[in-house]
Amino acid sequence: MHFAFICLPATGHVNPTLPVAAELVRRGHRVTYATSAKYAAAVESAGALFFENGEDLSAQFPRLSSAADAQDDAGRPPRAGMLAGLGAGMMSGLLERLLDRARDDFPALVSRLAADRPHALCYDAMTLAGKMAAMKLSLPDIALLPTYATNDHFSMRELMPARPPADMLAGWKRARQLIEDFAREQGLPNFAFMEGPPASLNICFIPREFQPAGDTFDERFHFVGPSLGQRANGEPWQPRRTDRPLLFISLGTTPLNDRPDFFRLCLDAFAGTEWQVALAIGDRMEINELGDIPQNVEVRPFFPQLDVLRHADVFLSHTGMNSTMEALYLGVPIVAFPLQPEQEANARRVEDLGLGRRLPADGLSAPLIREAVAEVSRDQEIRGNVEAMSQRVRNSGGATAAADAMEQYLLKQQGV
C-alpha cells in the first residue's frame, strides 16, 4: 500500500513519525513524506520518498535574547506560555508569510497526491495542508498527533491561559480568519482547523496514561507512545566522567529557546558543584554570549539528546512533548521550564503525575534552580513514579502498534 505523510516542519513533529514511516517501509509498503527540505535526509534514511513542502518554522522567528526583547511589560522574561515579546501582530505576520508560500505549495502538493494517489493520507494534526488535502481529494484520513488528543471530555482549548490578554485574543481571531480565507481560496469553505470531528484514525504518540481523560477516547484513537528510532547524530556521546550525577539542560528546538539569561542562571547554579552538566543552547545564540563556562559544564548548540538522556539523572527541560516522552521512555525525572502553552500543560501534567516539578514563573534564581534539581534527584517517590510511567510508555506499542492500526484501518476500508 501507499501511505502519504504530511508533517509540520519542526523537529518535535517530524521525529515521532519517522519510526512509523520506517516500519511501514520495512513491511513492504511505500511511503511518500512531505515536509521542509531541512528534514530530507532524515526522511530518506527512514526509507520514504521525500517531497518538499513548506519551510523550517524556526527560521521565521526573530531572536528574543536582548534584555529589552526578553521581558514583558512587567519586566519578566517571556514565560508562562504567553509568547510575550512576540505580539499578536508579529504572529499574524508570520502566519501571513506562511500562507503566502502555501498558496504555491498546497496546489503543488494536491497535484502530486492526485497524480500518485495514496491509499491513505497521514497528516500531522497541526498542519493545514494535511487535513485540507485529505478533504479536497476525499482520501482516507489518518491523523498523527505528537501531543494531546481532543474529544468531548478534553479540548486543546484547556491548554490556553484562562484569561488571555486582549492582544492574544485578537491575534487568535485574526489567525482564524486568515486560515478560513485561505481554505476558501482553495475551494474548502467549510474547513475548520483543529476543530470538528476527529480523523477516521488517530495515532497518538503518547501513552493513554499521560493523556488527560485518556479512558474517554474511543477506538478511533490509538495511544502508541513514542518510538525512539535511530537518528544520524554523528559520534555517540559519552559523559566526561562517570563518578558524578549528570544534569541535561535543553530548551529544545523551539524558536523561543534563545534564553542567555536563563542559561547564565544555570551556569551560576551548578558551577563548582558535584553535578556534571550538558547544556544545549540551540543555534540562535553563540556560546560566547554566556561568558566563562565552568569546568563541570559542557556547552553545545545541540547534543544527541537520546544519548545524553540514557546517562542523565535529571532533565531540565522546556517540556515539549517529544522531549518529555523521550525522558519518560528512558526513565529520567524532569524539572520543567516551559515556554509555550502546550509546554505549560505538559509541565502541569508532569507535576500532577508526580514525574518531576516545575520551576516557578516568577522569582527564578540560581539557588532555586539548583534546589529544584536536587529535590527531584533525591525524591524516591518521583523516581518510582517515573519508573512506572517508563514501563507504560515502553509498553504502548510504538511504531509497531501504529503500523498495525494503519494496516487494519485500510483493510477495513477495502472490505477485507
What is the Cα 326 distance to its own chain's centre?
Answer: 11
How high is the pLDDT of residue 296? 96
Instruction: Report residue 250 as a C-alpha cell.
Output: 535543553
Which segment of 52-61, 205-214, 238-247, 404-413 scores lowest on mean pLDDT? 52-61
Do 280 and 376 lie in a common domain?
Answer: yes
Do 258 and 167 lie in a common domain?
Answer: no
Please give the model's pTM, rounded to 2 decimal places.
0.88
The three-point CA angle 38-318-269 to 5° equals 120
**Is residue 329 within 8 Å of 393, Cβ to Cβ?**
yes
**Is residue 356 within 8 Å of 324, Cβ to Cβ?**
no
**Tens digit of each residue's pLDDT (9 = 90 or more) over 240-297:** 888 999 999 999 877 777 889 999 999 999 999 999 999 999 888 899 999 999 999 9
Is residue 281 in a domain? Answer: yes
- Per DSSP, the three-state class of 358 is strand
Question: Which whole number is the average pLDDT over 121-146?
Answer: 93
- Name the pairing type of β-strands 314-317 and 334-336: parallel
Instruction: Report residue 315 as a C-alpha cell.
Output: 532533565
Do 104 and 201 lie in a common domain?
Answer: yes
How high is the pLDDT of residue 407? 97
Residue 6 sits in a domain whose CATH number is: 3.40.50.2000
Instruction: Give the C-alpha separation, 224 to 229, whole Å.
Output: 14
Is residue 232 in a domain? Answer: no
Instruction: Give the C-alpha separation, 97 to 127, whole Å.
Output: 15
Do 186 and 262 lie in a common domain?
Answer: no
Is residue 235 in a domain? Answer: no
Q: Which domain holds residue 286?
A: 246-394
Is residue 214 in a domain? Answer: yes
| Helix (H), strand (E), coil (C) string for 143-204 | EEECCCCCCCCCCHHHHCCCCCCHHHHHHHHHHHHHHHHHHHHCCCCCCCCCCCCCCCEEEE
Do 195 and 279 lie in a common domain?
Answer: no
Give the number of C-alpha atoms closer than 13 A to the C-alpha of residue 186, restricted to the C-beta side: 30
**Tens digit of each residue's pLDDT (9 = 90 or more) over 81-102:** 334 444 555 556 677 778 888 8
Check residues 235 and 54 and name the one with the higher pLDDT: 54
| For residue 25, pLDDT beyond 70 | yes
How high is the pLDDT of residue 75? 40
| For residue 54, pLDDT beyond 70 | yes
**Tens digit of each residue's pLDDT (9 = 90 or more) over 205-240:** 999 999 999 999 999 999 999 988 765 555 689 998
Q: Name 315's bridge partners.
A: 248, 334
Check residues 95 and 36 and name the one with the higher pLDDT: 36
Query: What is the radius of gyration, based on Cα positions, of the chain?
Result: 21
**Is residue 188 within 8 Å of 136, Cβ to Cβ?**
yes
How high is the pLDDT of residue 224? 97
Mean pLDDT of the residues in the chain = 87
| For residue 70, pLDDT beyond 60 | no
| For residue 76, pLDDT beyond 70 | no
**Tens digit of each residue's pLDDT (9 = 90 or more) over 315-340:** 999 999 999 999 999 999 999 999 88
Is residue 240 in a domain? Answer: no
Do 354 and 401 lie in a common domain?
Answer: no
Question: Which whole number is the average pLDDT over 147-173?
Answer: 77
Do 267 and 371 lie in a common domain?
Answer: yes
End-to-end CA distance of the chain: 14
Do 355 and 284 lie in a common domain?
Answer: yes
How high is the pLDDT of residue 85? 40
Is residue 231 in a domain? Answer: no
Do 204 and 350 lie in a common domain?
Answer: no
Determine what percent of the chain is predicted with pLDDT higher than 90. Answer: 64
How high is the pLDDT of residue 74? 40
Do 195 and 303 lie in a common domain?
Answer: no
Q: What is the DSSP string of 127-144?
A: -HHHHHHHHHHT--EEEE
| Ramachandran region, residue 133 (left: φ > 0; alpha: ψ -120 to 50; beta: rest) | alpha
Do 129 and 262 lie in a common domain?
Answer: no
How high is the pLDDT of residue 215? 95
Is residue 344 in a domain? Answer: yes
Q: What is the maximal distance between C-alpha atoms in the chain? A: 66
How high is the pLDDT of residue 379? 97
| For residue 341, pLDDT beyond 50 | yes
Is residue 236 in a domain? Answer: no
Question: Which whole number is the average pLDDT over 43-56?
Answer: 91
Instruction: Give the C-alpha separation, 219 to 20, whole Å.
Output: 19
Neighbours of 264 (CB within 10 A): 14
Do 205 and 71 lie in a common domain?
Answer: yes
Q: Looking at the 3D structure of the chain, how many domains does it have? A: 2
